[in-house]
Amino acid sequence: MHYFIHHKWVQFIALLAIFFVLVMAISPVSGGNLWRFQENIFWLLPDTLNNFLKYLINDFWLVETYDIELDLTEESTMIKEFTRSLSGVILFFINLIRELLLGGVKTVVTFTSWDFISEHPWARIPALPWTAVASGAFLMGHFLGGRKLSILAGGSIIYIAVFGQWTPAMQTLSFVLVAVPLSVFLGLMMGVFAYKNKTFKIILTPLLNVAQSMPHFSYLIPVVVFFGIGDHAGAISTVIFATPPMIRLTILGLKKVSPEVLEAGLMSGCNPRQLMFKVLIPTARHDILIGVNQVIMQCLAMAVIASFIGTKGLGYDLLVSLNRLNIGEALELGISIVLIAIVLDKLSLAWANKQADYFADLPFHLHHKYSLAFFGILVVTSAIAYAISLFFPDKPNYLYFISDTQGLTTKNFWDTIVDWIITSTYQSVQSFNVFMITSILVPMKEAYLAMPVAATLFLVTGIGYLVGGLRSAIIVAAFIGFIALTPWWDRALITAYMVTFSTVTAVIIGCTVGVLCSRNTRATRVILLVCDTLQTFPSFVYLIPVIMLFGVSDLSVLIAVTVYATIPATRYTVEGLRNVPQSLQEAASMSGVNPTQRLLHVELPLAFPHIMLGINQTIIFSLFMVIIGAFIGTDDLGQLIMQSLSRSNGMGQGIILGLCVAFIGLAVDHLIHTWSDQRKQALGII
């Protein structure tokens, strides 16, 4: 008995034994509620939620509105009016930026009317020549970060223009340039407020947890209902999705500011506002910038997903070309998205690090040399563009605008390669597919589906209890129990099976690569750089090469998920091993261990809690990507979320399904964090 209490692994084995006994004992036919929860009152929840939201929109808080154009007084609701005006404001800014880049009349219309436009053909914003935008990018890169950044920014714009993606890329850019500042601003403000106000923070924290584990798709559904479809809806769902990490990192950064710095600010005579904006936020800059970076990444990831609800741009084109299996085109579009992501990330970073020179007493033209140069280039490029259209009115004007039919393209090249790969590897890929599906995936899926709900709940609750005591047991049981009560338990099991498979594969690959690379400082640097770069890719992009090589099947989803999820596993392994204190490594070496012994007995045990956090990330990444995989075709929760997007009454269902996914993630997250914190405390490395 004493042995039992003091050895966790014995308890785990006992737990597993009871679990298997339960699996054997409960039969699908006679198990009743023990096998699967029968239809219950809980199943009405999606419809209730749906009706409630409908009520909010259509019948709650009626107001009278007056329509000027129709000269009518109409009845509307406050919520509707609010969402309508919010959409209007956001759409105005998106259009403003878009028309500055691409030309158009909508912004002018906002201040006048359509009649005014038809009467005055000059009343439109002219598009900037792409040459001007490219030189603008060069100049801005140089101004903020020197030559390297200049080449990166300018080169990316040239790539986009030359490859004929100008219109969709600028549409995406205009959408991102509205969503990113809005998310950063909201995130920063809410983070600051949560830092100052404890009650607000207590309310906010669980909301943030759920918000960050909800899959992207489930945000789209309520947004469509409240805001309709279009660019603004995409921007709003992006903001909702991208703000939580910003809030979280703002709070984290502010909390890390040392109390003496805060006191130094106070003693310098800062008032609360100066203290926040001159001392606290700049000092917490590192974490806040990671937040900005996350926002940019989320926005570009959402740029693709938001195209489901009518956001124009690269994402929409990418979706269409993937649908048509135009792999070459999808690849080019994917590269454009990645380039925009990287450029925005680096520019924002450089901007935050920009230094002012106080003693440079420069004359006007040197002080404003960048703006003057841009103005000059703008005039010159516009003049050239105008001159060319004047002299060659029939020819396409390459120095003004390159449409997608005129641009360079490599898609034929890629398509040929893809064709070649498919034809030449058809046999081997096909047999690999068949092997994986029949001997691993299908049996695994069936095994998951054969678990009685009572046994599963017993297992997760038991693990919760062993890891974190009664509190964890209750938390985990509540999360998983919620899913069990919904009608979608089987779907959740399929999601769980896909996540398990890809996580296990990703962890094996990631940890091995991580351990191997950490043996060598140079390899460590390289692998961290690779991970950094791969992380900037929007998750959707990972589907392109996989479809290219493996076609459309369950397996290719799993491969894409695995590739995506390997990144955090590798990264955390390398970081964990690298952060093992030097003194301990030296102590081990002086005790006469060889490198393998040192790895096994010193480095891995110490790095293990950190590696566990990496595995946690791997699971969350897998979960998200499995849901996105619904786009290729799976039969799990994600597929249902996709379906509820196109159903008129799908709102309640979509939200509940999103919560199911979130709760899987939160349960795992809770268990691993609790364990890792305990372990770190035991090892004294917090």
Partner 1 sequence: MSTPIQPVIKCESVYKIFGENAEKVLKKTDGEVDTESLLEAGCVIGVNNASFDVHKGEMLVIMGLSGSGKSTLLRCISRLIETTAGNIFIDGEDLLGMNEKELINVRRNKMGMVFQSFALLPHKTVLENIALPLQVKGISTKDSMARAMDMVNLVELTGYENAFPRQLSGGQQQRVGIARSLAVEPEMWFLDEPFSALDPLIRKEMQDEFLRLQSVLHKTILFVTHDFDEALRLADRIAIMKDGVIEQIDTPANIVLNPATEYIAKFTRSVRRERVLSCQTIMEEYDVNTDLSDITVSKNAIIDTVAERVLSEQKPVAVLNEQDEIVGTLNSKIIIQVMFGETNNLPINNNAESQA
Contacting positions for partner 1 (CB under 8 A): 258, 260-261, 263-272, 274, 278-279, 282-283, 285, 355, 358-359
Calpha distance 489→652 (Å, rounded)? 17
Smallest gap from residue 266 Cβ to partner 1 (A)? 6
Q: Which residue has the tokens 């038991």?
A: 462
Smallest gap from residue 268 Cβ to partner 1 (A)? 4
Calpha distance 561→549 (Å, rounded)? 15
Would you give the DSSP letter of residue 649? T
Smallest gap from residue 257 Cβ to partner 1 (A)? 10
Q: Which is nearer to partner 1, 8 or 256 (CB)?
A: 256
Smallest gap from residue 343 Cβ to partner 1 (A)? 23
Smallest gap from residue 370 Cβ to partner 1 (A)? 20
Q: Which is nearer to partner 1, 256 or 519 (CB)?
A: 256
Calpha distance 130→101 (Å, rounded)? 8
Q: Which is nearer to partner 1, 54 or 278 (CB)?
A: 278
Q: Which is nearer to partner 1, 280 or 642 (CB)?
A: 280
Q: Is 59:76 a contact under the CB 8 Å cutoff?
A: no
Single-letter amino acid code for the residue at 17: A
Single-letter amino acid code for the residue at 640: L
Partners of 72 in the β-ladder: 67
Please give the structure tokens belonging to residue 48.
């209730």
Q: Which residue has the tokens 């029939």?
A: 394
Q: Which is nearer to partner 1, 285 or 680 (CB)?
A: 285
Calpha distance 418→275 (Å, rounded)? 58
Q: Which is nearer to partner 1, 274 or 646 (CB)?
A: 274
Smallest gap from residue 148 Cβ to partner 1 (A)? 21
Please give the structure tokens belonging to residue 240.
């909702």
Smallest gap from residue 292 Cβ to partner 1 (A)? 15
Q: Is 128:378 a contact under the CB 8 Å cutoff?
A: yes
Calpha distance 637→628 (Å, rounded)? 10
Q: Which is nearer to partner 1, 258 or 583 (CB)?
A: 258
Q: Is 105:117 a contact under the CB 8 Å cutoff?
A: yes
Smallest gap from residue 349 Cβ to partner 1 (A)? 13
Q: Is 239:187 a contact under the CB 8 Å cutoff?
A: no
- Any idea how long the chain is? 686
Q: Which is nearer to partner 1, 276 or 478 (CB)?
A: 276
Calpha distance 313→171 (Å, rounded)? 5
Q: Which is nearer to partner 1, 289 or 667 (CB)?
A: 289
User: Helix/strand/coil (H, E, C) string of 505-526?
Assistant: HHHHHHHHHHHHHCCCHHHHHH
Smallest gap from residue 273 Cβ to partner 1 (A)? 10
Q: Which is nearer to partner 1, 113 or 268 (CB)?
A: 268
Q: Which is nearer to partner 1, 62 or 366 (CB)?
A: 366
* SS3 state at 76: strand
Smallest gap from residue 350 Cβ to partner 1 (A)? 14
Calpha distance 366→239 (Å, rounded)? 39
Q: Which is nearer to partner 1, 220 or 280 (CB)?
A: 280
Q: Burial of 404 by CB count in 10 Å (0-12 exposed, 13-18 middle, 19+ buried)?
A: middle
Count CA atoms closer than 13 A to 378's CA, side-chain side.
Answer: 15
Smallest gap from residue 529 Cβ to partner 1 (A)? 23
> What are the residues whose beta carbons fall under 8 Å from the beta carbon of 233, sequence distance 6 or more?
87, 220, 223, 224, 227, 306, 309, 310, 311
Long-range Cβ pairs for the range 578-583 (8 Å, 24+): 578/518, 578/524, 579/607, 579/610, 580/606, 580/607, 581/606, 581/685
Long-range Cβ pairs for the range 395-400 (8 Å, 24+): 399/129, 399/131, 400/127, 400/129, 400/130, 400/131
Q: Which is nearer to partner 1, 1 or 360 (CB)?
A: 360
> What are the residues whose beta carbons fall under 8 Å from the beta carbon of 16, sequence distance 6 or more?
459
Smallest gap from residue 281 Cβ to partner 1 (A)? 10
Long-range Cβ pairs for the range 4-7 (8 Å, 24+): none
Distance between alpha carbon 257 and the CA centroid of its chain, in Å?
27
Instruction: For residue 384, give Cα distances in angstroms to 54, 102, 402, 534.
Output: 55, 17, 15, 39
CA-wise closest residue to 294 among 234, 231, 252:
252
CA-wise closest residue to 668 among 587, 588, 571, 565:
565
Smallest gap from residue 263 Cβ to partner 1 (A)? 5
> What are the residues whose beta carbons fall under 8 Å from the beta carbon of 70, sequence distance 6 or more?
none
Smallest gap from residue 276 Cβ to partner 1 (A)? 12
Q: Which is nearer to partner 1, 256 or 324 (CB)?
A: 256
Q: Which is nearer to partner 1, 84 or 278 (CB)?
A: 278
Smallest gap from residue 90 Cβ to partner 1 (A)? 32
Q: Which is nearer to partner 1, 285 or 673 (CB)?
A: 285
Smallest gap from residue 184 Cβ to partner 1 (A)? 17
Calpha distance 58→36 (Å, rounded)? 37
